[in-house]
Structure 1
């Protein structure tokens, strides 16, 4: 069996300990000797960007990504421009906190025109690139499982994400491979290989059976059916050697003590990823 990835690559995606503030999550990572953290924007907003930057700088942690930008489709031109402005703020936050990856959750259709919404996503990314490039930030398109097409993202396969990303240079736009969203896809390994040089992030959790909730339904690695190590090997073969984020959205895990979650997370990362 392929050996486990180095703990030097382990990142806490902050949503995994959603009840923790940014300070608490950072302190937890320091105690658990987890070197990376992915920061969510609503946690930045709670204390402000300046204080967020201080907290992270004082801790010595590295920021693997900021989540999230995107949400491009909207019913009116003025609303779409507001979304672009919010993405510009997200890019500024990423740059200030020292990461070069902004994860894009691309957004649902404002009406029944899903094809039109996908075009709005493509247009929004194209509009953002000069601003992102000027801040040294790459835009990471994260396809979401098809069950989220109606309320979270109209980008639902790695093929769609690759189609959008490969139009641009690797330092501008890439893809984020989240196992929860792509494990089921019969073309996933083909598309991971196709994404070579454009993979900006790798997120792990597990698909548990039965899924307890459409949104808060992810499991701890090893508790489900995903071939985690096979997918990790594939993204590495495609050139990705960056941080590996544990991103688990699950009420039962949120309700556990955060330090216990991080301890189990490290154990399962070594065993299954």
Structure 2
């Protein structure tokens, strides 16, 4: 396992960690000034802005874009709505290409509102990803399918384990083109009894595209907005990273923390300093 001590260039900050409280150009400056090697911006910060200018700023400051967050949900009640969701993701992929993103993160969506058709939603997800794969190839930006914790299955993601995500990748891309893989986020997968085996299998398929860290608090208060800083919770972070790196992943370690009542209330530079310390000591 790589030693992160004194190696912040191996670490990235997902901009959600800072709570989207400042314009992206300021956030880019902060992350670069703090010594990190990468950044993962969100569409809400990019769309409607001068994307080429943001790309130039990121490049000039020596940052890599470890991911672009995130996809429009795919499942829909009508074919027209489904097509619109796919087109929104195609547009985002084009922005991801301008930014030089290493991947476009797919959070696929949950059940169609008012529906109980879980298998139908999952079928739409496979269809939508199949449609996006050619655009990903054209843009040169791989799709990073991120399985979410099962508590999100109803609303945010009907893809819930690494094994399930890998099965989808193999279904839509049996030739292993390099344009679809998996974002491994410890918050969503730490609990999985098949985690070690699933990561190993994903690595053998050369499909680990991103690795996200935070922590799961023992007394979490909100299923979405109460993630913990690394070291404050129950996840064995070194064990998971060791597994991911043994499986062949050598990309950046990306911090992604949603924390409305704690970390989003603190000064951004303080949050970055603590992220830096924890990455080097407990991850």
- The two structures, once aligned, show a CA RMSD in angstroms of 1.5
**Structure 2 counterpart of 1:160, from 153, 158, 164:** 164
CA distance in 2, matches of 1:12, 1:88: 24
The corresponding residue for 2:190 is 183
Q: Secondary structure at the match of 2:71?
A: strand
The corresponding residue for 1:66 is 68
The corresponding residue for 2:34 is 32
The corresponding residue for 1:116 is 120
CA distance in 1, matches of 2:28, 2:94: 21
The corresponding residue for 1:200 is 209
Q: Please state how far the C-alpha of 1:46 moved relative to its aligned partner.
A: 5.6
The corresponding residue for 2:99 is 97
Q: Which runs of 5+ in 2 are unaligned?
A: none
TM-score computed with the length of structure 1 as normaliser: 0.96
The corresponding residue for 1:172 is 179
TM-score computed with the length of structure 2 as normaliser: 0.93
Number of residue pairs matched?
273
The corresponding residue for 1:15 is 16
The corresponding residue for 2:250 is 241
Q: Which runs of 5+ in 1 are unaligned?
A: none
CA distance in 2, matches of 1:209, 1:246: 19
Q: Which moved more, 1:25-34 or 1:80-89?
A: 25-34
Q: Do residues 148 (structure 1) and 149 (structure 2) align? A: no
Structure having the higher strand fraction is 1
Q: Secondary structure at the match of 2:65?
A: strand
**Structure 2 counterpart of 1:51, from 53, 60, 77:** 53
Q: Secondary structure at the match of 2:143?
A: strand
